[in-house]
Structure 1
Amino acid sequence: AHLRKWLMGCKLKGVSQYDLERVVKLEFLSRSKEELYLIVELLPRGNLVLCDRNLKILVPMKVQEFKDRKIRKGELYELPPSRGVIPKSFEDFLGKVRGEDREVVRVLASKFPLGIFAEEVLARAGVGKEKKASELKEEELRRIFAVLNETLDKVRKMEIRPTVIMKGEGVADFSILDMELYKGSEKKYFETFSEALDFYFHSLEEEIARKVVKAEVERVKLILERQEETKRDLLKSAERFREIGKKILENIEIIKELMENLRALKEKYSLEEINEKIKASRERVYELQFVEKVERDGVILRVNGFSFKVKFDESIGEVANRFFEGAKRFEEKLKGLEEAMKETRKRLEELEEKKVELKVKEIKRRKREWFEKFHWFFSSEDFLVIGGRDAIQNEILFKKHLEKDDVVLHTDIPGSPLTIVKGGKKAGEATLREAAIFTASFSRAWKYNVVPKVYWVGAAQVSKSPPSGQFLPKGSFMIRGKRNFVKDLELRIAISYEEVNGDLRVIYGPEDSIRRKNKRYVVVVPGEERKEAVAKKILKLLGVNLDINEIIRALPSGGVKIENEDRVRGN
């Protein structure tokens, strides 16, 4: 709550990492133009620490005290102890490693901020991780040093290959590189690390959900087995009691006479003598088959293998009725049990359906087109138009997806997407105008509700080579030659949906292009509402089952509002 209070309304200016340490610094600018730093410690006992421009702690998420630093309000923020730095020279590297009489993998992991990459570096260098560092040849050490710097250089230049390592139906690990450690394992590759993480954690959630459902299925099956066992026992008991009752009624006169005779014998003989006489005569006298034992106040009778006591002053008819009533009680319990079993079976069916849903979801998750990671739409003339969501995506579009027959659009202000019309040399005026509206709407100008100047050029006019002595930051480009400006633009985006292989996906773009795909759509323009709140309204207005996160991703950055909020276009 305290952090939220400080950061409300602030603008994020930058994100940086302290060397290769597990500490990230987020730089904010408050409404009063005050610089604030939110430091994220990604450690086992991590923390979130808000500092002023001088790194004086304003708000720590947790107050902590270590032997070498204190995390509390008013203290100057100090970094956690360093995990080491990567040596710049081979001699420096040699000095840190060669004298160690430990496994080389442990030396690399403890001396340098590598973690699991210590094993990866050794795997790429072809050096066994169990070898003692002190026993390594110079040629091996040079290979390790070269691979270490080569790997880190790739990471610094963002020459990465985001990867998720699979294990059976689930996921095992993820990495920014195609790791040699997992050679031979099944892998999935992604354009961005965010997509790899999204897939990994989504798969992990599904895996956990499958395990939870499986465990619940087993638990419910066990309950059902016990209920069925109880049902068998109740049926058996009800049937047995009813049979005993019938047997008693069938032999009621015999049992009455037997009880009277035993009562009379009790007057002449002891209980021990009577029971001895019964034991000796049971095989010869039919009536005595019912007698198990005579006691002081009654007789233990045995009917159909079931023993029960009848008192001398008790009516035999009442005894029979007692068994019929007992059978009814068992049958009443049986009715309640059958209702409970219906609910258990229903729950089991629901869980089995859930298992199928999770399996289908895992196998048949909608495969996204390659361009869906960017901003995209198909023009009214059916040309694919794609734009970068940030500077990194602008770089990816330029390096991997810009071809000679494409057309590029950009604005005259910083913070604009690099927009590409695929095959744009053949595009008509309608497509170029729609692409210009798209570029303007997803530029920084949306936030200020100011229409920027938008122009288009050929692919050959776009370059990453700056003039001599100048530097181009990531996501920036040089445009050479004539710029063709598109006039009379507006900031507005239409949101709708289309069916793809049985699934619905969100589509968005200039109104003319969306109207061609679906006549039901919502138009958004610059406003003051948050994207999340507007996305909920759009979902309700369109009235179909869409992923709200896709709607949020479709909205321009900055405040938004729905034009004519009370209705959907096309209704």
Structure 2
Amino acid sequence: MDAKREFTSVDLAALVEEFGTYEGAKVDKAYLYGDDLVRLKMRDFDRGRVELILEVGEVKRAHTVAPERVPDAPGRPPQFAMMLRNRLSGADFVDVEQYEFDRILEFIFERDDGTTRIIVELFGQGNVAVTDGEYEVIDCLETVRLKSRTVVPGSRYEFPDTRTNPLTVSREAFYREMDDSDTDVVRTLATQLNFGGLYAEEICTRAGVEKAMDIADADEAVYDRLYDAIERLTIDVRNCNFDPRLYFESGDEEDDADRVVDVTPFPLEEHEAEGLAAEAYDSFLAVLDDYFFRLELEEEDDSDPTEQRPDFEEEIAKYERIIEQQEGAIEGFEQQAEQLREKAELLYAEYGLVDEVLSTVREAREQDRPWDEIEERFEEGKERGIEAAKAVVDVDGSEGTVTVTLDGEHVELAVHDGVEQNADRLYKEAKDIEGKKEGALAAIEDTREDLEEAKRRRDQWEVDDEDDGDDDEIDEADSKDWLSMPSVPIRENEPWYDRFRWFYTSDDYLVIGGRNADQNEELVKKYLEPGDKVFHTQAHGGPVTVLKATDPSEASSHDIDLPQTSIEEAAQFAVSYSSVWKDGRYAGDVYAVDSDQVTKTPESGEYLEKGGFAIRGDRTYYDDTPVGVAVGIQCEPYTRVIGGPPSAIEGQAETTIELDPGRYAQADAAKRLYREFREQFEDETFVRKIASPDRIQHFMPPGGSRIAEE
């Protein structure tokens, strides 16, 4: 028997009742894994930390899980997760509903600024749509454009067409549905009454009716027995008469472990008749957590244990990310402390002006003048040109403060204090922040120790692995079948150029392109070196593209003769990531110049916009350069997504997908590529970790795309 991977409508009806006990829980944070698993971290007054998992991929589920079983948070939250955090942080979980008897759950959250509905579709391709209180779609994992319904950001969410709800159908309506059928009893219950296969069989078993009985042979007595069985099931669901069961098949041999195959809110006579072993639970949510946890473990155990290896690279990358964040925090503390000290010094530098502002407010308050009137007096003073009044930018009566601008800096002053006391307060705040810096320095040392320990364990593992290896083992990377490996080791690397568009040519030369005007400006000013070539499209809206002759850490040189292959690939890169692709065209004109022909100094009387540059001298043109982009997953020397001209990428990636200009929006096309990659690799978790749709989108051209073979 195949293991259960999707919920039934009866399961969801039972789930809704149990989810109600979490009403009032507050959302802390939201996460997205890959393009099909959403995690909501919440706090419940009685239970403490609550983790809600919503998965709509090959496995479709929605339930709480034990905190120790949640997956590690992704390193870089995608846009969908950030949107959820912005809308749900601090929100209360108020309700969950099942739409009709369909496999759709609607989770409702409320915050002072509005209502958010998360609609989880646990059927078909699966989807998670986030809407406001009026069902306007804010974002969704999958856009749906069908004749019957549409689910796209900005539109009103449309539920599927209503179907018969067997838990609310009247006896007369039930008879009509059965009479209208032209098949057997079990199929009628499964399709026209929407029970699905398992519960259609269960209803027949409980009613003592032959499943294969033709409807033409079923009389009113058969209908009554079936309807009575449905009513008993309905009562159990509505009254929460649950007695959850986890069902498993016993191993065939002594060494074979039991294998979980199903989980239900109450015992099923159908499973007992099949001889399945069962384990009872007190809670349906608890048994769901155990079932899917055990199912995942069993699937991991089915893989080749000789290929398993601790994910040292992921652990090392995690510590490196933490160190980077801690270093950023330390730098931030230093800047904050310095800014506070500068503000304190400004108070003394402008002592007379600040004292006049504070004295004016205090005198007005002693005369019981309202704060609004004080603010109006300052506005009048500005019109008369009084310097002290012109310095005031805000008066806050609720806090008893006035904000002034001194030498371009906004400084908030406590009215009841004098100039010296306000300055002392700023100095004290600066000292407190420096104390935080000391704590961060101590924490970063601890993290560095953890990082070195992880590296030591990795090195030791590799030494032990070499000692245990056979002499005839082939170590070359080319011999590894990465697609079939059950566990691909992750070796992450975020180079300095990762925030730009980039790729390495077939000849191993780096090409960098700007994503916007700011990056175009930065490339020309900071990274353009002698010997480099610069490419740009004739069409407006193209990136500055630089073919690097040397790495920034190396001495630049005019003497390097760049290969023609690299030049052609850089030209194709420039045209593919320009408006040419966005306009749906398949070719465009590109020109190339040497680095010393590019300048940020315009001719007399001319003006250069941000990201623009001037060219001096002749240009080399590449007319009708074809667009071409491939996105691939690289496994050696690093595990990462790469993208660029197909001729370059195909030789560097384990697997690639070529794109053409097309009708799918960039985000939708990225999700299609993600699913394709996940099907190609045996280790789907590897794809989820390093090739999320957001990361794939990072390498895709602007505008619409489609897979070239489609």
TM over 0.5: no
Q: TM-score, normalised by structure 1?
A: 0.37
In our comparison, the structure showing a higher alpha carbon Rg is: 1
Identify, as 1 or 2, the structure richer in helix: 1
Of structures 1 and 2, the one with the larger relative CO (CA 8 A, separation 6+) is: 2
